[in-house]
Structure 1
Amino acid sequence: MRILLVEDDQQLASLLQRRLAADGVTVVHAPTVAEGQLLTEADAFTAIILDLQLPDGTGLEVLRVVRAQDHAIPVLVLSGIDREEVIIRVLDAGADDYVVKPVSLDLLRARLRALVRRGTAGVGAVTRLGALVVDAGRRQVWLDGRPLALTPLEFSLLSHLSAHADVPQSRETLLRDVWGQGYHGGSNVVDVTIMRLRQRLGPEPPAPTIETVRGVGYRLRSPDGDRPPAEAEPAPPAPMTTA
């Protein structure tokens, strides 16, 4: 397993290189945006750990290059910025996870392992929901016969929802089964990723609909799923008569 680390803190980079080597992981270090972009274009990695504040720019520039190349590679952002609006913007830009510094090395390793598992593992099942086909083994999605480009996190979320089509999934269940037991962030990350996934699928048929279940979470509605019965309109009042 080879990880690209885009981080200007040489001490942290050296520590990660030593500790991840014990897990059989090779860490390739890039201290700048320019070097990070060059490596993503010239080499193949299992995952990327990305700082935001770099000497020659922001890690978002590296992230945009990666996603513009349609890479499904998992990207974990490791940053000292703990503002919700920044985290949401980074996830919207295509990051799969966001970890705030300082963080224990053991927790970071666990989050990285979970991220790589989501990006590479598959159970071989193929789920068909109308025009949507989700191939968990090959980690590919087709909508109306066309391949759909998703990040690893978006794929894992869609795969989970499609495997439980028409069954409401709470945010807590999604955090546990998609983000993994090592995730300790807020549940708003579920809402952000659902929003991105809805944009990928599009608002109109033939895509299945991701419905919000008030007070619970979300549900992927299959085309032939049972709809709740419509509320009956009240009967009009009987006409008044005079004696």
Structure 2
Amino acid sequence: MTDGKGVPNIIVAEQDLHVSNLIMGTFKMEGFLPHQVMTSEDCLAKVKELGDKLDAIIIDGRLASDRGTMLIVNIRKMNSKAKIFVLAERFEEEHKTRVLDYGADEFTVKPLSIATLVSKISMLLLQGTPIKA
């Protein structure tokens, strides 16, 4: 599912440009190939464009819980294998339950250190990967 060179493709769907740029820069430095989007529509277009080369998506909680776009459900219809990580601004049990029910793999609340975010995404990508002897 990588770009063919072993570099994981991720989408960063974050409405706050400063937060998005921080995430993008860090993941680039860690050897990922991040793609920046700011809206649900752009996220879906990027999912379609990357196809089976997409490894993970980091989604801002506001985008993830938008019932109008049903972003996670629509991502799952297009790509059932990519890992979906929702990064929310506050914890509400109903919100967490909703995004996990829609098909997200992980949910956490901001603030979260960028190093922890990279670790969590890396762990998600390792799940289901056979360990080579």
Instruction: Report the TM-score, using the length of structure 1 for normalisation.
Output: 0.47
Distance 1:46 1:70 in 2: 10
> What residue number does 1:191 align with?
none
1:8 pairs with one of 15, 29, 44 = 15
> What residue number does 1:73 align with?
82
What secondary structure, in the 3-state scheme, does the structure 2 residue paired with 1:53 have? helix
Distance 1:103 1:92 in 2: 23
Distance 1:70 1:107 in 2: 25
How far 1:80 moved relative to its partner?
A: 0.6
How far 1:69 moved relative to its partner?
A: 2.5
Is 1:102 the counterpart of 2:108? The answer is no
How far 1:92 moved relative to its partner?
A: 1.0
2:101 pairs with one of 64, 89, 92 = 92
What secondary structure, in the 3-state scheme, does the structure 2 residue paired with 1:77 have? strand
| Percent identity over paired residues | 25
How far 1:70 moved relative to its partner?
A: 4.8
> What residue number does 1:35 align with?
42
Q: Return the letter of the residue paired with 1:96.
A: D
> What residue number does 1:18 align with?
25
How far 1:73 moved relative to its partner?
A: 0.8
Is 1:113 the counterpart of 2:122? The answer is yes
Cα-to-partner distance string for 1:96-134 (whole Å, 9 max, x where unaligned): 000101111111111111111115x1148xxxxxxxxxx
- Higher Cα Rg, which structure: 1
Cα-to-partner distance string for 1:49-97 (whole Å, 9 max, x where unaligned): 011314xx82872211111225211100011130112111111111000
Ranges in structure 1 where 5+ consecutive residues have no aligned partner: 125-243
What secondary structure, in the 3-state scheme, does the structure 1 residue paired with 2:82 have? coil
> What residue number does 2:59 align with?
50
Following TM superposition, the consecutive aligned residue runs of length 4 or more in structure 1 with deviations greater than 6 angstroms are none
Ranges in structure 2 where 5+ consecutive residues have no aligned partner: 1-7
Contact 2:55–2:81 (CA under 8 A) maintained in structure 1: no
2:72 pairs with one of 51, 54, 63 = 63
What secondary structure, in the 3-state scheme, does the structure 2 residue paired with 1:82 have? coil
Whose RCO is larger (CA < 8 A, sep 6+)? Answer: 2
Distance 2:124 2:98 in 1: 19
